[in-house]
Amino acid sequence: MSTTDPITPNNNYYLSQTLTGHKRAISSLKFSSDGRLLASSSADKTIRTYSTSTNAVVHEFSGHDQGVSDASFSTDSRFLISASDDKTLRLWDVTTGTLLKTLHGHTNYVFCANFNPQSNMIVSGSFDETVRIWDVKSGKCLKVLPAHSDPVTAVDYSRDGNMIVSSSYDGLCRIWDASTGHCIKTFIDDDNPPVSYVKFAPNGKFILVGTLDNTLRLWNIATGKFIKTYTGHVNSKYCISATFSVTNGKYIVSGSEDNCVYLWDLQSRKVVQKLEGHTDNVIAVACSPTENIIASGSLGNDKSIKIWTQQKREDS
């Protein structure tokens, strides 16, 4: 099947499984780069990892004193970093489930964190309006970037590790030189809506930006202009993640405040599927890098993670 074919009825996503266990809202979902594990973070102060082959829980990571807003795997899948309202980041061993280091320095809730592709640095963003860069081996903070004038909502490393992108309620997305910490570029929309999410495209040439005016945009980094707009979902309140699905065609996937997951064709910008099943706002989504699997996580009236695949269940 050609990778440019739109989603047709034979490759729609269907609900495969619902994972319960977290006691409060799901805040983030991430697949490991080898596709073998899924990590979830929650307002219940814990992080969980699941085997993607069985959907069974592998480890529960406890230790944070407040809710966890984000958790990310290192590129080599050896580590997890978690970001919490207790103002710390925690570095965990994925295989054993043990705590390796607690990173202190942020002066307010830590909202987002990611590893660089080399897995030796961590970037974090906080309600203290800074972006921090940390050394994995020592757990020391290497740089504090006075990045924004409002809480930082997302941070991401580019594929080569040379750039960091950050977003904030201040309406800005900023690109930073990862080694010097200098701001290379600032992106701002004319209407200046709060930016709730940002992520580099897999090819490193674009950033996907979510704003609290119910819109996702794809910006060209080189030109500083947005080239695609994706709408139809609801996002005016929460920091909802969005991502790229690249295992079978190219799609944009996002959560929504109408309890659904939306899939758009990347090129045509058309909504090609809307996944229904959650009973509260969907604020976390992730796509497997190796298989046609979407994971979605929902707020506190639901608390579940749903696994969507292109095979129909026998009973559905």
Task: State pLDDT tens for residues 147-173.
Answer: 999 999 999 999 999 999 999 999 999
CA distance 196 to 153: 6
Supply 172's token pair: 């800005």
- Taking residues 174-183, report their average pLDDT: 97
List strands edge to edge, sheet with 195-200: 195-200, 206-211, 215-220, 225-230
- Average pLDDT rounded to a whole number, residues 52-67: 97
Sheet containing 79-84, strands listed edge to edge, beginning at the edge strand earlier in sequence: 68-73, 79-84, 89-93, 99-103
Tens digits of per-residue pLDDT, 104-130? 999 999 999 999 999 999 999 999 999
Decide: residue 3, CB within 10 A, 0-12 exposed, 13-18 middle, 19+ buried.
exposed
Hey, how many other C-beta atoms are within 10 angstroms of the C-beta on 229?
Answer: 11
Q: Which residues contact 198 (CB under 8 A, 6 or more apart)?
A: 153, 154, 156, 165, 166, 167, 173, 207, 208, 209, 210
The residues, ordered by sequence, that sit 6+ positions from 9 with a Cβ below 8 Å of its Cβ are: none
pLDDT digits (tens, 9 = 90+) for 198-208: 999 999 999 99
- CA pair distance 222, 266, nearest whole angstrom: 19
pLDDT at 2 over 90: no
Residue 315 has pLDDT above 70, yes or no: no
| Strands, E assignment, 20-126 | 26-31, 37-42, 47-51, 57-61, 68-73, 79-84, 89-93, 99-103, 110-115, 121-126
Judge contact between 282 and 239, C-beta under 8 A. no
List phi, psi (to 5°) of 11: -130, 30
CA gap 44, 63 in Å, rounded: 11
Residue type, 240: I
* Residue 1 vs residue 126, higher pLDDT: 126
| 87: pLDDT strictly greater than 90 | yes
For residue range 244-297, list pLDDT tens digits in order: 999 989 999 999 999 999 999 999 999 999 999 999 999 999 999 999 999 999
82's tokens: 């978690």
pLDDT band at 4 (very low <50, low <70, confident <90, very high): very low
pLDDT confidence band for 190 (50 / 70 / 90): confident
* The pLDDT value given to residue 5: 52
Q: Looking at the predicted structure, is the pLDDT value of residue 316 above 90?
A: no
| Residue 199 DSSP symbol | E
